[in-house]
Structure 1
Amino acid sequence: MRERFMGRRGCSLYIRNAFASTISFILDLFLIWIMVEHFGIQRYLAVVVGFVIANALHYVLARIWIFHGTERGVASGYALFLGNALFGLGVILGGFALLTEVFGVPYLVARIMASLFAGTLVFVLNATLNFRHL
């Protein structure tokens, strides 16, 4: 198992995913900030909406660049990608709540911290179960 993830292919996929995730995540943070600071939207709702929009962009990048050549169909791939993302969203929201409500961490910092663990977990799920590249 370790060789699959730590080998050249696994590292290459992870680096591509990290780049795509970073782009999606920057969009996510920007959307959260706009919704909370400029439109007065409740921060938990803003986290969910930002996540869903950024996740759609990430799926497009995953299909055409990270896991290029997958045999998984577009619709079934998106369904699994969304399922994995929703699991990740649960991890993010749990971490976000813990960090902001219990520890008083500012909301954008909490979002970043909660995403580090969730992002790696979702990558593993997509690489193994969805796109079957590892």
Structure 2
Amino acid sequence: MSFGNETIFPFPAVQYIPLTIDTLEQGDINPSKVNPQFSQLIIGNDILGWRNLSRQKFQIELPERFPDESIAVLVFGATVDAVKYRGYFVTMTGREKPGYYQLFTMPRRYFYKNNLCFELFDAATGKR
């Protein structure tokens, strides 16, 4: 039995580890500062490289560091409601939301692979 949409979750539900997300920040981005179609998914330490750009272009102040026991995720153009992990894949579901951003963390302790593939799907449509 899957989690519903078999395009997103093709394997039985027992093969996925559901992860708790802790939203640190979220909100609208000034529409005059960003293309409404802009979407981006930034993971882990790559977020630190976006600090200056986020401050200058979007007026978003990102933290200087994140807890060692977590992985941070910054999403532009969407919101994430749920995260599940299986093998090499971290599958996030949410919905497209132009002109919006969300910064959250999730626990690192469940990841048993060194290289991971993060993917974000619209929960309603199954679109990546």
TM range (shorter): under 0.3
Scaled by the length of structure 2, the TM-score of the pair is 0.28
* TM-score relative to the length of structure 1: 0.27
Give the structure, 1 or 2, with the largest relative contact order (CA under 8 Å, sep 6 or more): 2
Q: From the two aligned structures, give the one with the greater helix fraction.
A: 1
